[in-house]
Amino acid sequence: MNYLKRLLAINSKKEIPTSTSPDKAKKIDLAKLSVLELKSELLHSFGHTADLQVDEAKVGKSNVMIVYLESVVNTDFLKEMLGKTLESPVENEVKITTVDDLKELSKRSFGVSGYEIIKTLDDIVSGILDGRVIIVFEGIPAALSLSYINSEGRTVAEPTTQTVVRGPKDAFVEDASVNLNLIRKRIKNHNLHFEKFMIGNESRTTVYMGYMNAIVNDKILAEVRKRLKSINIAAIFESSNIEEMIIDKTATVFPLAMNTERPDSVASNLMDGKIVIITDGTPFVLLVPVVLTDFFTSAEDYYQNYVMSSFVRLIRYISFMIGLLMPSAYVGVLTFHPELLPTTLLLSIIAQREGVPFPAVVEVFIMEITFEILREAGVRMPRAVGQTVSIVGALVIGQAAAEAGIISNIMVIIVAITAIANFVFPNYSFANASRLIRFILIIVASILGLYGVLLVLVFMVAHLSSLRSFGVPYLAPVAPFVVEDQKDVFIRFPLWSINKRPSYLSTNETKKQKKTDSPSPPQPEGGK
């Protein structure tokens, strides 16, 4: 113990190395550096990395240095466009001696390339990391930054986790600019605003925050912006990293932000007054704030008849209760409350369990953990065999275990129904929360029976009531109950009748559309 204390004391005295990220680089003016000194600084900053290209060229009578990372720049397009510009007869006669001359050259030759005039070493390093081409003119205290970013990546395809039978088939990709375009295609409105953030001290990941300026609640918008700006982390690689850094600091298994890869779902939520967070490098986009009922809603609910949509949505709520309670109810009833079962069913279950050597709770745990292993194996294995392993493995293992007398047949049925019910949820992260709570309910049911199950449910509802997503109650609009918001909660009313946005968002513009009546068939001539 004393050795451990001394070791911890020694480690606590060690100095933490200073970050070499561009955010902490010195703001050195280019006026203080010659071209050779700048080249040396850049090579030192990037550690002589193999993909850093430092080329020398001549524009008119001026010597220039061209710097870029060939791994993130479209080199073919760069050579074609830049070569034509620098070798044109007009530019060969130009002499660049001042910053004004550089601006004139930029307007004339690079007006369509998204050029910028930068004046510090920090801006040059940041531009190179962002995939821009930097042109430094000798004797001028400024540099030219051009955008020739390599936009190669995965093309837009169908969603992989949120599929629909009827509705748009495109999904977000890893390129944030493409994702912005997919949203703009659906909302052609000047009130759709996006704010850009660079998050991650080392990774400098591009993150966009989008919202409808005339609709969104200003206080919620300010809170989201504040939390994004306050993120202090080394690297961001996925939107889940952003989610963990901005959600309310509450220990909970329930997601307080919703992720989706469907542009139509994002557009619909933006029109309701919610805020979208797009992270470069991932196809999963965050939506905030969210409430519990959002996770029972699918994009397809609005693409089919409202009666059928309401029926399917009720099925999701029933599936949630089945997936949450069925194994624990089996353990509780069989162990403590067998009188609740009909006599015939009870005798049938007892007969099936006659040769099973384990109590009900152990039997449930064996099957539940086995199924979780098969589920993870199906996800991690190659796509060609993953589905086969998960389905065939479950059937073979379940049948073999029942024939061997390790588990009963009724247990196989219960676990199968529970697993299928758990797959009904449109959102995968919410399904994970119910999986974890199910194990807690099983343990409590084996100790206290159905009373323990009811007690856990009471604590769960109390916990849900205490949750907030950026200040919005997690159980809204059910608790607190808002009558006018019930048109799109457990069932969906016709679209023409939903003329107000959710009141719990307190949007600047509460009306979603003008109040209209149900379309009616035309009256016959002369009829009343």
**Coil/strand/helix, residue 315:** helix
The answer to whether 67 touches 49, Cβ cutoff 8 Å, is: no
pLDDT at 116: 85
203 falls in which pLDDT band (50, 70, 90)? confident
- Between 106 and 372, the more confident residue is 372
Span 281-296, average pLDDT: 93
CA-to-CA separations, 177 to 113, 120, 153, 280, 286, in angstroms, rounded: 16, 27, 11, 8, 16
- Can you tell me the distance from the alpha carbon of 165 to that of 202, in angstroms, rounded to the nearest whole number? 42
Prior bond of 522 cis (ω within 30°): no
What's the pLDDT tens digit per position in 438-448?
A: 999 999 999 99
The answer to whether 278 touches 176, Cβ cutoff 8 Å, is: yes
pLDDT at 184: 93
pLDDT at 387: 61
- Can you tell me the distance from the alpha carbon of 5 to that of 176, in angstroms, rounded to the nearest whole number? 47
pLDDT at 2: 47
The answer to whether 37 touches 96, Cβ cutoff 8 Å, is: no
Helix-strand-coil split of the chain, %, nearest 5: 50, 15, 35
Span 217-227, average pLDDT: 95
pTM, to two decimals:
0.83
Q: Out of 127-131, 276-280, 378-382, 391-395, which region has the weakest mean confidence (pLDDT)? A: 391-395
Span 59-68, average pLDDT: 80
pLDDT higher than threshold 90 for residue 264: yes
CA of residue 383 relative to chain centroid, distance: 22
pLDDT at 6: 44
Non-local (6+) Cβ contacts of 359 within 8 A are 335, 446
pLDDT higher than threshold 70 for residue 527: no
Domain residue ranges in the chain: 22-147, 176-290, 306-473
pLDDT at 94: 65
Span 76-95, average pLDDT: 65
* The Cα angle at residue 281 between residues 286 and 204, in degrees rounded to 5: 95
pLDDT at 25: 45
Q: Out of 257-271, 314-328, 410-424, which region has the weakest mean confidence (pLDDT)? A: 410-424
pLDDT at 85: 65
CA-to-CA separations, 302 to 52, 104, 161, 218, 319, in angstroms, rounded: 50, 53, 18, 28, 20
89 falls in which pLDDT band (50, 70, 90)? low
The answer to whether 272 touches 453, Cβ cutoff 8 Å, is: no
Q: Where are the alpha helices (DSSP H) in 147-284?
A: 176-186, 218-229, 239-246, 263-272
pLDDT at 179: 93
Q: Out of 105-114, 135-144, 184-193, 278-287, which region has the weakest mean confidence (pLDDT)? A: 105-114
Percent of the chain with pLDDT over 70: 87
Span 43-55, average pLDDT: 85
pLDDT at 392: 62
Summary mean pLDDT of the chain: 83
Q: Both tokens of residue 466?
A: 């205490």
The answer to whether 39 touches 33, Cβ cutoff 8 Å, is: no
384 falls in which pLDDT band (50, 70, 90)? low
pLDDT higher than threshold 80 for residue 318: yes
CB-count burial class (<10 Å; 0-12, 13-18, 19+) for 470: buried
Q: Out of 17-21, 295-299, 302-306, 423-427, which region has the weakest mean confidence (pLDDT)? A: 17-21
Q: Both tokens of residue 398?
A: 């379940």
Strands in 70-204 per DSSP E: 116-118, 132-137, 143-147, 192-199
Non-local (6+) Cβ contacts of 350 within 8 A are none
pLDDT at 138: 82
